Amino acid sequence: MNLFSGQGFAYQAVLLFIVLIVVVLLTIRQANELKRISYMQKRPKFVTVEDCNGMVSTRDYKEGDFVGLVEGPCDNDGNLRKIIGIYAITEEKKKKGLI
């Protein structure tokens, strides 16, 4: 029985075509995932700067933060914590090899 005759060849051609389509779709999906990861690494990190009775501190940005927001007491004396700034920090990649 020859595999390249009649129905056997048609079956192999269809199977090969299906495998080709699956490989192409997986490659496209992986490329899109790599683009998304690259974008997330380039995205800046946002920090919130808070003031409590002259003592300045930073924390990660939370949705709803804005400059001037009073968040409540920050110590036992009743002083209020206030947001005085919001900044974006871009992290630089460390170069390997040269100092």
Are 64 and 26 found together in one domain? no
Asked if the structure places residue 94 within a domain, the reply is no
Are 3 and 33 found together in one domain? yes
- Asked whether the whole model's pTM tops 0.85, one would answer no
Structure tokens given for 5: 């005759």
Asked if the structure places residue 19 within a domain, the reply is yes
pLDDT at 71: 87
Q: Decide the pairing of beta strands 70-73 and 80-89.
A: antiparallel
pLDDT at 14: 92
Are 78 and 55 found together in one domain? yes
Are 1 and 39 found together in one domain? yes
Are 12 and 25 found together in one domain? yes
Residues 34-77: tens digit of each pLDDT:
998 887 777 778 999 999 888 899 999 999 999 999 988 887 78
Closest CA to 49 of 89, 9, 99: 89
Whether the per-residue pLDDT at 1 is higher than 50: the answer is: no
Residue 66 · residue 49 · CB < 8 Å = no
Residues 10-35: tens digit of each pLDDT:
888 899 999 999 999 999 999 999 99
Structure tokens given for 48: 């919130």
Are 31 and 49 found together in one domain? no
Range of the domain at 83: 45-89
Q: Domain count of the chain?
A: 2
